[in-house]
Amino acid sequence: MTKMPVNVAKVLKRSGTVVPFARERILNAIYKAAIASGERDKKTAEILADQVIDILDKCFSPEKPPTVENIQDIAEKVLIQNGLAQTAKAFILYRYERTKERLEKGKSKVIPFDKVPFYKIYYILNWAIDHNLERVEKINEYLRKGSFPELVDICEKKYDEEISAAAESILRKGDGIKVIIVAGPSSSGKTTTTIKINELLKKHGKNLVTLNIDNYFHDLELHPKDEHGDYDFETPEAIELELVNTHIHRLLEGKTIQMPIYNFKTGTRERKSVPLKLRGNEIILIDSLHGLNKKMTGSIDSRIKFNLYIETLLQMKDRNNEFIRWTDLRLLRRMSRDSKYRSYNPQQTLEHWHYVRSSELRYIIPSVNSADFIVNSAMPYEIPVMKKILLKDFHSFENRLKGNPSKEDAYLRAKKVITLLESFEEASDFSSIPPDSVIREFIGGSKYKY
């Protein structure tokens, strides 16, 4: 039976907002710290969460609710008292990182210079200016003149040039390349980009064998869960990294592995597996959010691998003279794709996005400058397309989420995206978008199977 406090029903947030007490938040924080320290013992995390609740009951009351810091302080002490030094260390580090993030948000905009591929961004911005695509109003002119097909053609040709350049970079490395890693944040277009590069490499006798990292997820019951029942699949720890590394090295040694099969409907790995072995001139392909993360592929000799990074590096200013955020493009893509292909309500995607964004900033974006080549998958025409698909939904989300303190992040994000979508003219006819476009991965109608 789930234990709940008797005397504590509310919690005082840092913003001063009072929200309902959620035991799952405590359990989730402790379990995440345990995972980070190398443990995956949910039963122990349950026991520790109950100990925290016992102390809360003794120290607080309905008239005197605990703050978030009070709860975190107690959780930290419980971990230390139980002799879990490594878990306590991970918990303290997590608190420190979150505090640092909040302080940074309070400052003027800080650009993490070591994480921005300026040479690539400068190149994309120049291209956008040369083609009159650097501002919202210039995109709208295309639609008002009925020139949307022309706009699509300009953008698609540029993307194809990027794909060709990436393939050529791989080929220049010669036969020494044994592993190609395709990484990048959620909905950046990794799958389509990988397929198209694979098509080009096959023409040169390069055969890619996919090591599907999705099959290496831990069983769902071993994942932390928040108070909304939402699982966090976005961290590297959601994957059995040790097994991934073992299998990569066995394949490189010419051995056969038994690749697991993960069933997303049941949230478990199936008992059967798939034998996999490299033959002749075959190359391992790893397509993963965390492909460049050191925990996953850092042990592979850099001389035999090629790191490819995909991102929506759009260089376009909105009506407030601010550059449109790449994360907003990817949110729109994922909402459209999840709704169309994964029977996942777009509002669920919106509410889950804080996990996605947090993971990107901690684990994915910091690896961008370890890439051998960066592909820009952003299409300047895609927001008018997403306006047609999602604007009505966003107005609905805004109304449902308003006034709910536990959904404040999703509500503010919805408001911001509504402003963005409403600044664009709507694209009503998608027939000019080619079937092999990266955008088809998210809106449907692709020639590829995903």
Mean pLDDT of the chain: 89
Residue 284 contacts residue 297 (beta carbons within 8 Å): no
Candidates 238, 236, 214; CA nearest to 224 is: 238
Q: The CATH number of 113-443 is which of 3.30.300.30, 2.40.30.10, 3.40.50.300, 3.30.9.10? A: 3.40.50.300
Residue 312 contacts residue 325 (beta carbons within 8 Å): no
Residue 10 contacts residue 71 (beta carbons within 8 Å): no
pLDDT tens column, 193-210:
999 999 999 999 998 999
Domain locations in the chain as residue ranges: 10-103, 113-443
Res. 5: pLDDT tops 80: no
pLDDT tens column, 14-68:
777 788 888 888 888 898 888 888 788 888 988 999 999 999 988 998 888 898 8
pLDDT tens column, 338-395:
888 876 789 989 998 988 888 888 888 888 888 999 999 999 999 999 999 999 999 9
Query: What's the pLDDT score for residue 108?
Result: 42
Q: Which of 57-61, 177-181, 417-421 has the lowest mean pLDDT?
A: 57-61
Q: What DSSP character marks residue 324?
A: P
Q: Report the alpha-carbon distance of residue 229 to residue 211 in Å, rounded.
A: 30
